[in-house]
Structure 1
Amino acid sequence: MRWLLTTANKWMPVAFLLMAGVAIAQFWSQHGPNGSDMGTYFHNVVVFLHAYGWITLGLAILAWAIAFLGYFYERERSSGGKFEGRGWMMDILDRLSNRRILEEKLASEPSAIFIDAEQLAQELKSKVIGQDAVCDDMAAQIRRRLALKQRGKPIGVFMLAGPPGTGKTYLAKCLSAQLQRKLLHFDMTQFSSGGHGASQLFGSSKGYVGSDTYGKLTAGLRDAPEAVVLLDEIEKAHPDIHKNFLTAWNDGFVTEASDGKQISTTNAIFIMTTNAATDAMQALSVTYANNPDELRRSSTNVLKEAGFAAEVLNRIDRIFNFKALSGLDIARVTALEIEAMIKNYELDVSTGGIDPDVLIDMMRRHDRLGKGASSRDLARSIEESISDSLIDAKQKGYTKVALYSDGNNVIAKPEK
């Protein structure tokens, strides 16, 4: 059938010419000249065309009919009608369902994405210090989940647990940057009240204040459906807020309260951080370091005792345990923090330009703060120690500096 339609459409211009030739032949045979040799020759040609004109006209009309039939056929087929490729048969999907809507939904399904997990892990480990196992596991999880072509849930729902200042929030930010996805960052300490917090995230019902605008979460996912959603310190949010995320994590959508529209979450990555039960979680990460299944089971039980609802924990795909920083990891974090601070003053640090005594002094100050110390405390110690020296260096016109310790203070000197 399609071959016939294609052929008819291909020869349509010829049909036009034939019909025009028949019309000219009719006119010339009755009114054309027949005196000269050339005129006689041309007249004979016209008489020949006239003799077979009805046959030519019939072929042209047949081509027109096939072309019209083709137009009707294609229109019915594209609109989900009863015609299908092989004969005049009704598609079973048209009889039992709505094929057009089915095709549209399949077309909107997320496509499989393949990433290099090893490269992603290396990029994360170069930025998130002291959490190599977490970075490797996170990269592997992301690779597997992105490779799934059809999903009814988010790409991943992950919990990052461990002491404060160990890189949990920073890992989510780095992951967002490496995957080139927008980061939707929510400080969950701001959503400690159930009703008001829910309306801020998911919108307000009609008749309530703010019902003419979308919630922060629903608007963010509407505009950036492939976002990394970071729910920082999730344990600080009201338990009702936790439960409002259940459909987002289990059913693949979240409902905007103002207009009832369902916003898809199937392309998003949800990452929660928590400082709950830090000591117990640290002990588990050591005890079950080589038994990930038991670590997950035990971590789930610990978080349940810390106040998380069972239905919330059951929807978390993976719990990552962050370990406290120690040894050279503290030195690495310190060096990176110093480099960042130097750059904030529009200066550069020379290669090998941080005196080891400076790093050792910072590590000792960090240890004196005890187990509760975080990288934020470390950053504050660094600022107190070197900011004045960097300001002096900037005023003196230095562009690249090295840091030295004189026993009591840190001094910034120009690169040699």
Structure 2
Amino acid sequence: MARGLFRRQARHVLLTGQRGVGKTTAVRELARQVSSGQFDFLQNARFILGECQNVLRHESRPRFAALFEWLAGQQNVVVCLDGLGALLRGEHGATNISLLRAALRLRDVRIIGVLSQWDYDDLLASDAEILDVCTRVEMPEPDEAATLPIVRQVAAQIEADFDCRIPVPVQTRAVELSARFIWSQCFPIKAIRVLERACENLAYERRQNGETRAELVIDDVIRVVSEISRVPAETLSGDIDGTDYEQILGSAVVGQSDAVAAVARELRLIRAGITDPGKPASVMLFCGLNGVGKTELAKRLAEIYSTSKRLQIYTMGNFVESHSVSGIIGVPAGYVGHDQGGQLVNDLNADPYGVFLLDEIEKSHPDVLKPFLNLFDEGWIVDQRGVKAYADRAIFILTSNAGYEAISQMHQDRRPMHEIIEHVKNSLSRVRNERSSQPVLSQAFLARIKRIQIFNPLDEPAMLGIARILIDNVQKTWLKHRGKQVQISEPLISHIARQGHEINTKSNGREGGRGIRRLISELIEDQIQQAAIRARSVYQRATIIQLNLRDREIDSATPPISNGVENVADIAIDVRFS
């Protein structure tokens, strides 16, 4: 920066870098060194800091105009405009770049503009007039080795602020853990914030709960990193994870014990930190018929792994055109929506531990998958703004129905799993985009998939398990929202499972477990509603609703509040309120 301020032509500085890398701190350090006698050509200069980050667009022009008027009357000043991007953006897409050009022409003023890489690329990178009179200084994020001395210097001030000690091993652990588990922030600020919050927690305990300890320990840092990242503290401590992931994952998916076991093994490797550095935590391909549990397993994985506890679903059938890649990395500069960035970059930065489902991957355009090649290989992606996101902790799950008929037949023929997986790879490599006729999934893309998991076709016992899970959800919903306990007989549950299996068989496996949902709606919820209409007062007083199968031959003995519906098994449903 000092070299830039010394120049005759390009005597202004544009300091760019990600938030938290220390841009403003660097300017303050320059001012401190000038005041201590270094850089004699700046010895009589006044340093002025203008904080612009919170300037609103409708206020930016009058504020910049007032600043320009004030600067015009100053001599030998160095003005740091921190958050210059906000000051340059006006209403309705307008900019205040003309005012910046005028300010840069003032003879007795040097300007240090501090702004993000995105703001620089979007607003100033192509402005030759401004670049002629400015020296750009790029400030990259420091690595762990460079961050440690910074943290040690700042730790002394934190110790004074909170009247506690921060031993060097604790400082080092804060840097290590924040590097590995806090991805939405940059060094050095994320490590500094970990230490500050740990000291705040200790100060609270000392003041409110009588804690006598005046020194941070590593467990204090682990607790803070766990709060920020939502990674269990025992994982951060390096403890062996003994969680029964098979039981947790299997509670939502029926008939897929192999898939559940494979995902559980993958999750244990991730939790233990045994993953390929610089790549996503995992990239898996789920293949199988519709409705066999691919999405449900992904959802349950997200519930136990993701910070948001929510599965991020990208329906790839919505990305069938080449230009639809903008839905992944954003639109180019100059187009409406550019400032919103890329959805995938935003989602990754919002939840670095996200679980992403690329549903029906074979339906997408080949150009849409190009950003994923680098993402799956290098572990990062950049959108059109220049904003970078890391995927080192994220899990990507791809699903496909390609070759489902052959998969079903190979299962029936009891072919070995490696043959089925090889058939899936061949089927996917032959898929072509309908519009461009290009192969959708290149060999390079398929090679980046860590695990291919084949889902079994659903048999009748699996349908029974699905029916029990979905019926349990219905019962919980009725109890929570209506205060009524729904009791469903075993024969009725078995009948729903049987009919679901028949529907799936007749559709050659295309229905999967989805037919169970429709049967539950028709044979349980619809029947309750119809019976409630016939006996409204009895229904309103009731706290228990019982549903059973009955033979149509005993209709005459049925109480009036019962209601029957004919179905393929020649049975009817008996509904009783009590």
If the TM-score is normalised by the length of the shorter chain, which range does it land in? Answer: 0.5 to 0.7
CA displacement 1:117-171 (0-9 Å, x = unmatched): 6611111112101111110111001211332267210100011110001111111
Q: Is the 8 A contact 1:284 1:299 kept in 2?
A: no
Higher mean C-alpha displacement, 278-287 vs 233-242: 278-287
Match of 1:375 in 2: 513
Higher mean C-alpha displacement, 306-315 vs 165-174: 306-315
User: Which of 125, 133, 136 matches 2:250?
Assistant: 125
Match of 2:347 in 1: 220
Give 1:278 shift.
0.6
Distance 2:316 2:411 in 1: 25
Matched, 1:78 2:149: yes
Match of 2:96 in 1: none
- Paired amino acid for 2:458: L
Match of 2:477 in 1: 344
- Paired amino acid for 1:326: D
What are the within-5 Å matches in structure 2 for residues 359-398 of structure 1? 359-364=494-499, 366-368=501-503, 369-371=506-508, 372-391=510-529, 392-393=531-532, 395=536, 396-397=539-540, 398=542
Distance 1:288 1:158 in 2: 23
Cα separation, partners in 2 of 1:354 and 1:121, compared to 1, 3 Å: same
- Paired amino acid for 1:214: G
Higher mean C-alpha displacement, 356-365 vs 168-177: 356-365
Distance 1:204 1:361 in 2: 48
User: Which of 159, 179, 182 matches 1:108?
Assistant: 179
CA displacement 1:9-56 (0-9 Å, x = unmatched): xxxxxxxxxxxxxxxxxxxxxxxxxxxxxxxxxxxxxxxxxxxxxxxx
User: Which of 183, 190, 200 matches 2:327?
Assistant: 200
Matched, 1:181 2:307: yes
Give 1:273 shift.
1.3
Cα separation, partners in 2 of 1:107 and 1:332, compared to 1, 3 Å: closer
What are the within-5 Å matches in structure 2 for residues 46-61 of structure 1? none
Distance 1:292 1:172 in 2: 21
CA displacement 1:220-253 (0-9 Å, x = unmatched): 1111111111111222221211222111111100
Distance 2:319 2:348 in 1: 18
What are the within-5 Å matches in structure 2 for residues 137-176 of structure 1? 137-148=262-273, 151-176=277-302
The DSSP-based 3-state class of the residue aligned with 2:289 is coil
Match of 1:314 in 2: 447
Q: Is the 8 A contact 1:194 1:241 kept in 2?
A: yes
- Paired amino acid for 1:355: E
Match of 2:336 in 1: 209
The DSSP-based 3-state class of the residue aligned with 2:296 is helix
Distance 1:208 1:174 in 2: 38
Cα separation, partners in 2 of 1:217 and 1:339, compared to 1, 3 Å: same
Matched, 1:401 2:545: yes
The DSSP-based 3-state class of the residue aligned with 2:340 is coil
Match of 1:7 in 2: none
Cα separation, partners in 2 of 1:288 and 1:310, compared to 1, 3 Å: farther
What are the within-5 Å matches in structure 2 for residues 20-59 of structure 1? none
- Paired amino acid for 1:324: P
CA displacement 1:199-227 (0-9 Å, x = unmatched): 12211111122111122211111111111
Cα separation, partners in 2 of 1:143 and 1:341, compared to 1, 3 Å: same
Q: What is the TM-score normalised by the length of structure 2?
A: 0.50
Distance 1:300 1:288 in 2: 19
- Paired amino acid for 1:260: G
- Paired amino acid for 1:216: Q
Segments of structure 1 that go 5 or more residues without pairing to the other structure are 1-76, 81-102
Q: Is the 8 A contact 2:362 2:428 kept in 1?
A: no
- Paired amino acid for 1:164: N
- Paired amino acid for 1:319: I
The DSSP-based 3-state class of the residue aligned with 1:109 is helix
Match of 2:400 in 1: 274
Match of 2:46 in 1: none
- Paired amino acid for 2:180: E
CA displacement 1:262-308 (0-9 Å, x = unmatched): 2101110001111111122334556677x655554443223223443
Q: Is the 8 A contact 1:166 1:374 kept in 2?
A: yes
- Paired amino acid for 2:252: K
Higher mean C-alpha displacement, 112-121 vs 222-231: 112-121
Distance 1:265 1:236 in 2: 23
- Paired amino acid for 1:386: I
Give the percent of matched residue pairs that are identical in Structure 1 and Structure 2.
28
- Paired amino acid for 2:495: I
Match of 1:356 in 2: 491
Higher mean C-alpha displacement, 144-153 vs 372-381: 144-153
Cα separation, partners in 2 of 1:239 and 1:121, compared to 1, 3 Å: same
Distance 2:242 2:428 in 1: 29
- Paired amino acid for 1:275: N
The DSSP-based 3-state class of the residue aligned with 2:396 is strand
The DSSP-based 3-state class of the residue aligned with 1:212 is helix
The DSSP-based 3-state class of the residue aligned with 2:244 is helix
CA displacement 1:47-72 (0-9 Å, x = unmatched): xxxxxxxxxxxxxxxxxxxxxxxxxx
- Paired amino acid for 1:390: I
The DSSP-based 3-state class of the residue aligned with 2:312 is strand
Distance 1:328 1:78 in 2: 62
C-alpha RMSD of matched pairs (Å): 3.0
Cα separation, partners in 2 of 1:260 and 1:243, compared to 1, 3 Å: same
User: Which of 372, 379, 390 matches 1:252?
Assistant: 379
Cα separation, partners in 2 of 1:275 and 1:297, compared to 1, 3 Å: closer
Give 1:405 shift.
1.5
Segments of structure 2 that go 5 or more residues without pairing to the other structure are 1-147, 152-173, 182-234, 433-440, 552-565, 567-571
Number of positions where the alignment pairs a residue of Structure 1 with one of Structure 2: 313
Cα separation, partners in 2 of 1:367 and 1:118, compared to 1, 3 Å: farther
Q: Is the 8 A contact 1:120 1:178 kept in 2?
A: no
Distance 2:247 2:150 in 1: 50
- Paired amino acid for 1:278: Y
- Paired amino acid for 1:406: R
Q: Is the 8 A contact 2:550 2:573 kept in 1?
A: yes
